[in-house]
Amino acid sequence: MEVVSNISLKAYNTFGIESTARHFVEVSSVEELQELLRLQEWKNTPKLILGGGSNLLFTAQYDGLIIKMNIRGIELVEENDEFIWVKVGAGENWHEFVMHCIEQGWGGVENLSLIPGTVGAAPMQNIGAYGVEIKDVFASLEAVKIDTVQRQTFSGEECQFGYRESVFKTIYKGQYIIASVTFRLSKHPEINTSYGAIEEVLTERLGEVGVKSASIREVSDAVIHIRQSKLPDPQEIGNAGSFFKNPVVPREQFETLQQQFDKVPGYPVSKNEVKVPAGWLIEQAGWKGKRFGNVGVHDRQALVLVNLGGAQGEEVKKLAYDIQQSVEEKFGILIQPEVNII
C-alpha cells in the first residue's frame, strides 16, 4: 500500500475531467483498509472513496486522500435449493460480476448489465435499470466505519434503500467505506422483461413465444443492445450517465402540469406521488443536443451531460445549474443531481 501525491485524476473519472488528488492510495483488502485508517498521519485528512469514478464530477483539485477500492473476490457463502448467496469485493467491476452470474446461471442482476462502476459503489445509490434495483437482490454488506475503524454489517433494511438513495448518501454520508456486498441470487431465474424496450428487442430476436422462455443471457444481451444504442460510451465521450434524478412530485402537482402540458409523461410511484422523467423535462426546456464550449447535452439522451473534450468540472456544473434553473422556471420542478459533485 503506497500513498502517492499530486496525481492526475483524469483516468479515474468517466467524465474525463482533468483534476488532481493531493494524496492517492489503492487498497486491496479490508485489513489493508483498516491499517490505513488507523495511521495517525491520515486521521484528520479529508477522504474520498473512489470506485470506477462513473458517478462523480470533480470540480476542483481534491485536497485530501483518495482511497481507490481494489478489494476483489467473488465467494459463494451459502446456498439452498432456490438461492445462492455470493459475497463480492467492493473493487470488483459491476458489469464483470453480472457476466459472471450469467455464466453461472444465477439470476437477478441481468437487467443491470453494462452499468459502469464497482460493486462497492452499487449500494450507495441503489443502482437500478430496466425495472430492477440492487435492493431486489441485496442480502447484506460489510463496511468499515472511518472514525472507529470497526467493521459493521448492514442488512437491506438498515441501508434504507430508496430511488437512487441509501443511508450512505444521507445520514451516514462520508462515514463508512463499503468493503464487500453479499447478494442473494436465484438458481431458477424468473426473467423480468416488463420495463422499457426489453420485450420489443426479445420479440424481434426470439419471436412472441420465445420471449416467455428467454434466458438470463438473452435478457442481458437485449439490455446491452438497448444501452449501447441509447447511451454514450464514456470511452468515446466523457459522461457520468444520467446527471439528474427523475423528480417525484405530488399527484396534484402532476395533474396541474398535465393541464398545461398534455403530453407530460408520469409513472405513479405511490398513491399520492408521480415520477416524471427528467430527460423529458430537460428536452422540453430546449436543452437536448445543445453545446456550450467544451460541454454539452447529449443529442440522444437529454439526461446525459457530456465533456466534448478538455472540459473543466466547473463548466459541467454551470451547465447543470443552468438546466436546473430553466426546468424550474418552465415546470416549477427543481431537479436534483444524481451525480456526486466533489
Active site residues: 164, 242, 338
CB 258 within 8 A of CB 145: no
Nearest to 190 by CA among 210, 211, 216: 216
Binding residue for ligand FAD, selected from 9, 86, 129, 137, defined by CB under 6 A:
129
Binding of residue 305 to ligand FAD (CB under 6 A) = no
Binding of residue 55 to ligand FAD (CB under 6 A) = yes
Binding of residue 307 to ligand FAD (CB under 6 A) = no
CA distance 2 to 257: 55
The window from 112-120, 148-156, 244-252, 266-274 that contacts ligand FAD (CB under 6 A) reads 112-120
CB 136 within 8 A of CB 128: no
How far is CA 126 from each of CA 87, 143, 159, 235, rounded to the nearest angstrom? 17, 15, 9, 24
Q: What is the CA radius of gyration of the chain?
A: 21
Binding of residue 109 to ligand FAD (CB under 6 A) = no
Binding of residue 108 to ligand FAD (CB under 6 A) = no
Binding of residue 54 to ligand FAD (CB under 6 A) = yes
CA distance 141 to 181: 4
The window from 36-44, 50-58, 183-191, 258-266 that contacts ligand FAD (CB under 6 A) reads 50-58
Binding residue for ligand FAD, selected from 19, 70, 118, 140, defined by CB under 6 A:
118
Return the bridge partners of 154, or none.
141
In this structure, how many other beta carbons lie within 10 angstroms of the beta carbon of residue 108? 23
In this structure, how many other beta carbons lie within 10 angstroms of the beta carbon of residue 116? 21
Backbone angles phi, psi at 294, to 5 degrees: -90, 0
Residue 15 DSSP symbol? T
Binding of residue 120 to ligand FAD (CB under 6 A) = yes
Tell me the site size for ligand FAD, rule CB under 6 A: 32
The window from 48-56, 190-198, 217-225, 312-320 that contacts ligand FAD (CB under 6 A) reads 48-56
Query: Residue 304 CB, nearest distance to ligand FAD (Å)?
Result: 7
Binding of residue 127 to ligand FAD (CB under 6 A) = yes
| Cβ closest to ligand FAD, residue 54 vs residue 312 | 54
Query: Residue 298 CB, nearest distance to ligand FAD (Å)?
Result: 10
- Separate counts of helices (H) and strands (E) for the chain: 8, 20
Query: Residue 163 CB, nearest distance to ligand FAD (Å)?
Result: 10
Show Cβ contacts of residue 11 under 8 Å, excluding neighbours closer than 6 positions: none
Binding of residue 234 to ligand FAD (CB under 6 A) = yes
Q: Residue 47: which region, alpha, beta or left (left: phi > 0; alpha: psi -120 to 50)?
A: beta
The window from 31-39, 237-245, 251-259, 266-274 that contacts ligand FAD (CB under 6 A) reads 237-245
Binding of residue 192 to ligand FAD (CB under 6 A) = no
Binding of residue 240 to ligand FAD (CB under 6 A) = yes
CA distance 296 to 309: 10
Binding residue for ligand FAD, selected from 121, 191, 285, 297, defined by CB under 6 A:
121
Applying CB under 6 A, the residues found at the interface with ligand FAD are 14, 48-56, 69, 90, 115-118, 120-122, 124-125, 127-129, 177-178, 231, 234, 239-241, 340
